[in-house]
Amino acid sequence: MQHIQDIFSLLEHPKKVVITTHQKPDGDAMGSSLGLYHFLIQFGHQVQVISPTNWASFLSWMPGCATVLDYESETSRCDKMIADADWIFCLDFNTLVRTKKMEQALAASGAERILIDHHQQPQSEMFAYGVSDTTKSSTAEMVYDFIVGSGFQNKLNDDIAQCLYAGVMTDTGSFRFPSTSAAVHTMVADLLARGLKQSVIHQHLFDNFSESRLRFIGNVLSNRMQVFYEYNTALISIPQQDLVKYEIKTGDTEGLVNYPLSIEGIKLAAIIIDRGEERKCSFRSKGDFDVNTFARSYFDGGGHYNAAGGQSKEPLEAVVAKFMMAIKENKDKLSTYQF
Ligand code: 5GP
Ligand code: MN
C-alpha cells in the first residue's frame, strides 16, 4: 500500500470514483464518505457514494445523502459502477468482509482501492494507496487531514464541514473519548471559523427519533439488562420480538450499549441483538480492557481498544452463554478496576 499523499498530484485529473464504507454506516462512515464526496466533485471527478446496506434515517439530513446508493437495493447498477471505477475509496473499514454482499464486487474490480481508516489490523495488500492510523479519532478527521494535506483546503465548504463534524462528533462520543486530541479541537475550530452551525447538527443526530424508540429503550433498561458486579460487566440482550413490537429500524439501537457503561464500576458493557439473520454484538469498555481482542477472540469481530463489535449465527441464548463463558475466562482482567 503506497502512502495516500502519492495521489495528491493525481487529484486534478478527472476520474470515475466510487466511495464506499462499512455495512450499516454510522455517522462517521456516512459523514466521512460524503465529506470526501463534496471535496472530490469540485475537481470534476464523477463520484458515486455506495453504502453496502441501508442506513439510519437520522443520517439522511446530511448534504448529498439523497445521492447515496444502497448496494442491496440497486445491486446491478452498483456492480457496474464498481467494475468501471478508476478509484474506489474505502472509508471507515479496513477488511473487505465489512462490506458484506459487496465484498466480491470490490475484490474483483480493476480499480485502485484507496484506504482511509482508523481501525486495527488493515488488510493492506488489498489497497493500492492508503492511510491507516489507529490513533485518529475518526475517519472524518482523516478526511479533513487528507484535504488539508492535499493543499486544497480552499475547497473546504459548508457541505464538507457539516459531514465531517457529524463524523468526528459520532466517533468521539461528542468529544469525550480519549481519542479527542488537540488536533480534533483544532479541526473543529477551523470548521466553526468557516461558518459551521454545530448545534443544528446535534439536533439532527440526537433529537430526531420516534416516541416508540424511547419506549423501547425504557423496556430494554428495565427488562433486558443484567449486571454482573463480580465481573464489572453489564449485558443487554434483545430478542427479535422486541424489535418487532417497538418497530425498531436501522440505527435505533445505536448508542444503547453506552447506557450500562454509565454505571459506576462497570468496566465492560455488551449488547447482543437478535437481528434475525444474525446476532449482532457491540462491546464498550472503560480503562484497560481491550474489547478489540475480546471481539476478535470470541465473536468473529474487531474494532478499537475501547469500542468493538462482532456477530454470530448461533441462537441468542447460545451467544449469551458464550459471552458468560468469555467473561469468566477474562475474570482477572475484568475484576480489577481503577478509576
Ligand atoms: P459498533 O459496536 O458501534 O457497531 O462498532 C464499534 C466498532 O467496532 C466500530 O469501529 C466498528 O467498525 C467495529 N465493528 C463493529 N462490528 C464489527 C465486526 O463485526 N467486525 C469488525 N472487524 N469490526 C466491527
Ligand atoms: Mn469510525
**Cα dihedral across residues 154, 180, 305, 217: positive or negative:** negative
CA 81 to chain centre: 23
Q: What is the pLDDT of residue 106?
A: 98
What backbone phi and psi angles, to 5 degrees, belong to 333? -75, -30
pLDDT at 60 over 70: yes
Those residues with Cβ within 8 angstroms of residue 221's Cβ, 6 or more apart along the chain or in another chain: 259
What phi-psi label fits residue 183: left (phi over 0), alpha (psi between -120 and 50 degrees) or beta? alpha
**Confidence (pLDDT) at 336:** 86
132 C-alpha vs ligand 2 centroid, how far in Å? 12
Mean pLDDT for the stretch of residues 150-167 = 98
Q: Provide the pLDDT for residue 339.
A: 54
Q: What residue's CA is closest to ligand 1, atom 19?
A: 310
What cell was used for 31?
459523514
Our mutation pick for probing the ligand 1 site, out of 23, 98, 258, 292, counting the most ligand atoms within 8 A of Cβ, is 98
Q: Is 72 exposed, middle or buried (0-12, 13-18, 19+ CB in 10 A)?
A: middle
Task: Please give the average per-residue pLDDT across 247-270, as a whole number.
Answer: 94
Query: Could you tell me if the CB of 122 is within 6 A of ligand 1?
Result: no
Asked if 114 and 4 touch (Cβ cutoff 8 Å), the reply is yes
Give the DSSP per-residue string, 12-65: TS--EEEEEE-SS--HHHHHHHHHHHHHHGGGT-EEEEEESS---GGGTTSTTG
Mean pLDDT across 235-247:
97
What's the CA gap between 307 and 292, in Å, rounded? 7
Query: CA angle, corner 48, sides to 45 and 49, nearest 5?
Result: 130
Mean pLDDT taken over the chain: 96
Which ranges in 110-176 belong to alpha helices (H)? 139-150, 158-171
Mean pLDDT of 289-308: 95
Q: Considering the domain 211-334 in this protein, what is its CATH number?
A: 3.10.310.30
Assigned C-alpha cell, 310: 462482532
pLDDT number for residue 123: 96
Measured by CA distance, the residue closest to atom 6 of ligand 1 is 308
State in Å: Cα 278 to ligand 1 middle: 14
Residues 9-57 pLDDT 10s:
999 999 999 999 999 999 999 999 999 999 999 999 999 999 999 999 9
Distances in whole angstroms, Cα of residue 312 to Cα of each of 85, 98, 208, 317, 318: 33, 14, 30, 11, 9
Higher pLDDT, 92 or 339: 92
d(CA 160, CA 147): 10
Residue-range domain boundaries for the chain:
2-206, 211-334
Residue 302 CB less than 6 A away from ligand 1? yes
Q: Inform me whether the pLDDT recorded for 211 exceeds 80.
A: yes
Could you give phi then psi for residue 4, rounded to 5 degrees?
-60, -25
Mutation probe of ligand 1 site: the residue of 92, 115, 119 with most atoms within 8 A of C-beta: 119
C-alpha 172 – ligand 2 centre gap (Å): 9
**Residue 277: Cβ within 10 Å count:** 8
Give the pLDDT score at 20. Answer: 98
Rg of the Cα atoms in the chain: 20
The answer to whether 139 and 118 are in contact (CB under 8 A) is: yes
Q: What CATH class is the domain 2-206?
A: alpha beta
Residue 322 has pLDDT above 60, yes or no: yes
Residue 241 scores a pLDDT above 70:
yes
Examine the pLDDT at 250 and tell me if it is beyond 90.
no
Q: At 206, which amino acid appears?
A: F
pTM beyond cutoff 0.85: yes
DSSP character for 148? Answer: H
Closest CA to 94 of 62, 69, 49, 131: 131
For residues 76-100, give the mean pLDDT: 97
Cβ contacts of residue 324 below 8 Å, gap of 6+?
none
Instruction: Determine the distance separating the centroid of ligand 1 and the alpha carbon of 337, expressed in angstroms.
Output: 24
Mean pLDDT of all residues in 162-176: 96
Q: CB burial class (10 A; 0-12, 13-18, 19+) of residue 325?
A: exposed
> For 89-135, how does the pLDDT look when each residue is reduced to its tens digit (9 = 90+)?
999 999 999 999 999 999 999 999 999 999 999 999 999 999 999 99
pLDDT band at 251 (very low <50, low <70, confident <90, very high): confident
